[in-house]
Copies of this chain bind each other. A is one copy, B any other.
Amino acid sequence: MDIFTAIEKRYSHKEKFLPTAVPLADLEKIAAAGLAAPSGTNSGCVKLIILQNREEIQPLCDITPTDALLTAPAVIVVFTEKSKQNWKCNFELEDYAAATAQMLLAATALGYSSLWQDSPFFVADKQRAACELLNVPLDYHLRVVLPIGLPDGEGSRREKLPFSARVSYGKFGK
């Protein structure tokens, strides 16, 4: 799919998914798209776990039972490695965000819907429970889970601020 079409079509699918399985080859293509994203000091601090079926996903729903997670046929979980900090700089947030943006576009290009679902894991108990569930070492942060699949109906889309309110020329506000 043309990149500008994928950028236009991408949206946050917070609703239910169809049970149709997502082939592993597609999940790996999405994962590779994320890992190809820019990485501060090229640290490669972003790590992924692919969950390929409901058996693997269901325990996550006990931690955060959202419509999307309760029905998604596949999930990619995104972590950052805390110790991967070069030059005394920490680019964990930028790195995972860039990787996630590229994965959401890749999923869209392959015909799937997805969602940047991070807020449940801001809660320390849920962060800890999810990391324990997935055997994630203590020097990692769980940043976001991406439920991936065919949408069960059209998802809602929120309007963004218009271009003219966000872009200036030469100087701010011009």
Residues of A within 8 A of B (CB): 1-4, 6-8, 10, 12, 28-29, 31-33, 35-40, 42, 44, 46-52, 56, 79, 89, 93-102, 104-106, 109, 116, 118-119, 122, 134-137, 140, 158, 160-161, 163, 165-174
* Chain B neighbourhood of A12, CB < 8 A: 38
Q: When A and B form their complex, which 10 residue pairs have the shortest distance between CB atoms, in order from nearest?
A: A97-B97, A98-B101, A44-B161, A94-B97, A3-B3, A93-B93, A135-B171, A101-B101, A136-B172, A135-B172
Q: Which residues of B contact A94 (CB under 8 A)?
A: 93, 96-97
- For residue A167, which residues in chain B have a CB less than 8 angstroms away from its CB? 28, 31, 35, 47-50
Q: Which of B52, B119, B169 contacts A50 (CB 8 A)?
A: B169
